[in-house]
Structure 1
């Protein structure tokens, strides 16, 4: 009787606390209320449904046209947040105050659920320690060493396409082949592990899991945003049981993807570890030289103090994270370039002539390949206009003022030169919007013009001081959380294009191609299809 009597007041107190928290989020005034932005469309989702819709391109363009470089939007339960691409604000978010504007806990926690404690799921000093161990693997010196491996893999891709192209142009799903190739590139170049022979139609289940991860995660965005709460619902076994019981096809698909990532990554780790224990001379040499990611991590784990070593769980997590990141972004970018070249045959012909002149029937050496001007211009312009990752999430971990390069007019009519951002506020760094900002890039910022990179860029681009690590763009982020493998990805793209374009011509089929808003973006055959695919006609030169 006393237990029942005690439960009643406890339940009332908990309900009151939750109601107060909900009121604070949804109805209490916020300093961000004075920032112009679109009205909320849902109590539960705010503007999230519009921001993350698979056909959200027009919505994001409207935000730019109507509200400018800083926009207030509503998150879950109408929690106020900012959508930002003002250059000075980005400098503070990405560089000067990056320790304040960390990745949101929901982003970190949901990535921990998917990948484990990897680069995408750690914060602060823990993240910096992991990154420091991995940086040498993505150096230019290492890229020179791995270039011949990349060429070997792309020549296997070339042979696979050659076997499928008939005397007339043949319709081929190029996203399928870009995905398979990108996975093998990171497998061989990153882990000295083969995932795909690129022969026949059989391929590793990891490729299918990676291919479906983004659409699945995108569909589960509202659930990901409450992942800090979900991870507190009992021990992991109980959480897993709840997920298995949840009658949602996206949740069930997510479980399959997570299991495939974890199983494959653990196999890569144990294969390397077992070979080392057997005294495999090749593996011993690789680890001594630190020539691939896993070798580097195993070597570093031996050299540092015991308390500084990464756990087996962390080592395995890096495999799944880097396989996903390198496969999906590179294949998305390559597919986009091939689609654009099919739409612009004169540009494709010009690029082909540059490649032929440089190849002379042989593979182009690293230093010459990365300097080919028109190839470089096409890659830069495509990554500028169509960044694989359109948004990056941040969260203010304390109260802070955010300065603006261009003042805005508040809802109260006053001029705002800096914004007070309360602790806990969400920030969406608008990578795509920054890359298309006409104040920075000029009136043709939303046009695909590779030639813009063949002459000096406008002074406005240099003066904006965009804090990205790549070509005045936010495509690969910046600061301590920039994409660690962006040079790795560029090399993969250039090797693939240099081999394929000499032999094949890509043109449009009669299938409608729709690019879907996601991170990274992915194509489907039409706006209603849910299967990622890029159908192009491939013909011999």
Structure 2
């Protein structure tokens, strides 16, 4: 018996020692002394388990100071001290986004939650699947189709205006605008995406509540950490804590609503009633005409609905909030925009611009471009290289996590001059500045075949919502109100955008 216990003790000691040795190697030896990335400059690791995540989670935009300090190719340490790259070199970005776009994929070890929320739709599809989906979906986003969506944007903008006006009339001046704008953009994507009335602005809606739970819940840092851990330890999402319950319930609602929408569209098609110009109707009609090898499956069509729902409302909502925040803090710019809008639309009660009219407003365009520069919808985009690559003088092994440092490019003094960090819409009227701007250093919607397919839709909706609000209201900061900006968890004001709102009489 003694010999058996001795043998068991030996094996336990052996495995414990081996595990400790393996952990020591992965966390403390490989990153610093063996990794092919070890000689790339960058910030020192802050913690062997969490690397530089503390800075990434708690600071506003650490990538900007890192790029300015260490150069356009930098290494930082991610979860479990794994070396990760930030890239602000436009030649490398050209390879990632254009020349070798399908050699750089979304990192499989970072997508667990994203796949649950959005499915394997266009945003998360890769390779041949992405090519096929993109080719099929392009006709749904033509110039003419987006023109036909403008009346819907205007209709929802009037509803949003009315709700804010009601609050002001009741004596409220300090208003949390985040939920109203988010619900407005959800209503828009319901109509132009599926010809479906969510009516989330005017009534309780389970889908709006689901997205609010996913995107605006408490403890954003903990939500981010759990999301990251779920890629390595899937059962993390099964732990019965309140945060996981909200996440799983919200995902169940999104899945159920998406399935219902696709069923209803197929029923319309069977009855010969699928004549709408909404995106899913267009996709189903296009799908009918394709050879079998190019068709989307029912599952893929469901994924497109899930993708439209999340990408189609959150980006525009956040950008509109940032524009209002910036204009509240720069009242002269707000006044200049309002003057342009008054000239274009003297009677605000008859605000009814066409696609061409709203896109012809010069200063509105400047405001929108500058908002997207200062607060890009995606401050970075992440990829993994399928093949060994050479970045400058460095050999990059395959399966390296690579982040394109969009915010660092958008605030680079080399591109934008000494006022790169300032909100200055007039810079877009200066040829000496705009001559330096390319599709490789200004990337609010990325570029190439992985660029946002709905960027023209989003921009037009953004302009109409912003124009409606600035034409009807004056926005000012709330004295003493502060919020956090943590771009790794969500590139938006946290916990919400609060502004002082009053009616503009004129």
Give TM-score scaled by structure 1 length.
Answer: 0.83
Q: Which residue of 2 aligns with 1:294?
A: 280
**Structure 1 position 24, deviation (Å):** 5.6
**Structure 1 position 340, deviation (Å):** 1.3
1:118/1:318 contact within 8 Å kept = yes
Deviation by residue 1:44-80 (Cα, 9 ceiling, x = unmatched): 22112321x1x42153343133223221111222111
Deviation by residue 1:188-245 (Cα, 9 ceiling, x = unmatched): 111111112633xx332222322332456864444544555556xxxxxxx6xx733x
Q: Calculate the aligned-residue CA RMSD, in Å.
A: 2.9
1:106/1:226 contact within 8 Å kept = no
**Match status 1:360 vs 2:346:** yes
**Structure 1 position 34, deviation (Å):** 0.9
1:26/1:77 contact within 8 Å kept = no
Q: Which residue of 1 aligns with 2:371?
A: 382
The equivalences for 1:331-350 within 5 A come to 331-350=317-336
How far, CA to CA, are the matches of 1:328 and 1:99 in structure 2?
26
Q: Which residue of 2 aligns with 1:23?
A: 25
**Structure 1 position 96, deviation (Å):** 1.7
Q: Which residue of 2 aligns with 1:420?
A: 395
Change (3 A) 1:273 1:375: same
**Match status 1:261 vs 2:266:** no
Q: Which residue of 2 aligns with 1:408?
A: none
Change (3 A) 1:58 1:21: closer
Unaligned runs of 5+ in 2: 1-6
Unaligned runs of 5+ in 1: 232-238, 404-417, 525-530
The equivalences for 1:151-190 within 5 A come to 151-166=154-169, 170-190=173-193
**Match status 1:400 vs 2:405:** no
Q: Which residue of 2 aligns with 1:455?
A: 430
1:109/1:121 contact within 8 Å kept = no
Change (3 A) 1:248 1:197: closer
- Which secondary structure does the structure 1 equivalent of 2:409 belong to? helix
Q: Which residue of 2 aligns with 1:496?
A: 465
How far, CA to CA, are the matches of 2:332 and 2:231 in structure 1?
51
Deviation by residue 1:7-62 (Cα, 9 ceiling, x = unmatched): x99xx8999699769836752312211111111112222112321x1x42153343
**Match status 1:276 vs 2:262:** no
Give TM-score scaled by structure 2 length.
Answer: 0.88
**Match status 1:532 vs 2:501:** no
Residue-pair matches, total: 488
How far, CA to CA, are the matches of 2:182 and 2:241 in structure 1?
27
Change (3 A) 1:443 1:307: same
How far, CA to CA, are the matches of 1:97 and 1:275 in structure 2?
41
Deviation by residue 1:95-139 (Cα, 9 ceiling, x = unmatched): 222222221112344322222222233211112222222222222
1:377/1:450 contact within 8 Å kept = yes
Deviation by residue 1:318-361 (Cα, 9 ceiling, x = unmatched): 11221111211111110111111111222111111111111233
**Match status 1:476 vs 2:445:** yes
The equivalences for 1:110-149 within 5 A come to 110-149=113-152
How far, CA to CA, are the matches of 1:264 and 1:343 in structure 2?
39
Change (3 A) 1:248 1:67: farther
Q: Which residue of 1 aligns with 2:412?
A: 437
- Which secondary structure does the structure 1 equivalent of 2:391 belong to? strand
How far, CA to CA, are the matches of 1:154 and 1:318 in structure 2?
25
- Which secondary structure does the structure 1 equivalent of 2:102 belong to? coil
1:335/1:534 contact within 8 Å kept = no
1:174/1:535 contact within 8 Å kept = yes
**Structure 1 position 486, deviation (Å):** 1.3
**Match status 1:206 vs 2:176:** no
How far, CA to CA, are the matches of 1:351 and 1:308 in structure 2?
46
